[in-house]
Amino acid sequence: MHEVGNLVTREQALAYHADGRPGKIKITPTKPTETQEDLSLAYTPGVAEPCREIARDPELAFRYTAKGNLVAVISNGSAVLGLGNIGALAGKPVMEGKAVLFKRFADVDVFDIEIDTNSIAEFVRTVELIAPTFGGINLEDVRAPECFEIEGQLIERLDIPVFHDDQHGTAIISGAALINALTITGRNIEETRVVFSGAGAAGIGCARFYRDLGIRSENMLLCDSHGVIYRGRTMGMNPYKLEFARKTSARTLADALEGADVFAGLSQAGLMTADMVKRMAPNPIIFAMANPDPEISPDQVRQVRRDAIIATGRSDYPNQVNNVLGFPFIFRGALDVRARQINEPMKLAAAHALAELAARGKVVPQIVRDAYGNENFELGPNYIIPKPFDPRILTYVVPAVAQAAMDSGVARKKIDIVEYGQQLSKTAVVLSNM
């Protein structure tokens, strides 16, 4: 039997997806459909009126259709979770799961779309052709380095947000954790040395984002399956890795970690050893984020370093770096101001809002305490990022993203942030009861 994790078995997972109506999502009408008049309004002849209005002014699609609250989760299944290139159809359960998270945490509707191609040109053109349907595009589980080119081309061609969560989601959430971990350990971000294990979508995405947060380029080393990415290396290189090639004598992950302050693992289980942990600076920050199993377990770290701050991608350890803390709320804010893109100021705003929320741990709502065994949350080594079920994320992150979109000039709609926050508070109550 295949192992799924500590919380569920293979049989439970398959039954969850198969019992009753197959899958995890469905479409529900939002208008009455009980009478002949209702049907006449929903379809012909009444539907012709909003069609005429949209033909006259395309912006009215946001008023008369679901476009403004609809995101496409799009994948070709080339890099699905820890399963690799399993193809578009096999990746569909993950995309449906993403739709569930969008709806549960931010009331964003989703169509999941699986594209059966490994061609960058075909992928981009397909998304470009269907883009008028949506208010935003969430690219998911597309392998590197193709994902960088696909996202870049779509951002240039489309006037709605395009966001590759594998690149930016982990970067934003771990970035929030990094902000608080640096505060707890008393580090200056400009002097902090970071080593990345993994130079795919998540690794490159995190390196770029940490740089935007303030980590200096010369204080970052990236490692891939061939070792340290150093200046002059030719094996296994591409333009995205070359961006982070440094002049260094380090050649292995162990070499790179000598005296390092932060380890950011975005690779695979078991790559970090206890000896590597010993080599790091005092009060090391270890983000072992490989899923489902981290590069090193927190228990292994604790055996050799009691002074470490540790985060993983798992829910059964403290400080879970969970992308659900980001993408639903980032898209919610972007959609509500009709942003043309999700830019760096919006991503930074999300990370700082999450960090600030975790710093207010003493006032975590009781609903969150109940979900985690009445744990007493307070900013410290075991609490550097909020928990996914904290309803305040909606009212912290979403307004911050929306404000950043307006301030940076990518919003097509101006809103009153105070009133918006009040509306989101009401929405948070509803979502908490789902």
Catalytically active residues are 43, 98
Check: CB of residue 312 under 8 Å from CB of residue 301: no
Phi-psi region of 377 (alpha: psi -120 to 50; beta: other; left: phi over 0): beta
Q: Say how far residue 52 (Cα) sits from the centre of its chain.
A: 38
In degrees and rounded to multiples of 5, residue 119 shows phi and psi of -85, 125
Task: Classify 386 in phi/psi space as left (phi over 0), alpha (psi -120 to 50) or beta.
Answer: beta
Q: Do 146 and 77 touch, CB atoms closer than 8 A?
A: no
Rg of the chain on CA atoms, in Å: 22
Q: List beta partners, residue 227.
A: 224
Which of helix, strand or coil describes residue 111? strand
User: Helix %, strand %, coil % for the chain, to 5?
Assistant: 50, 10, 40
CB 213 within 8 A of CB 264: no
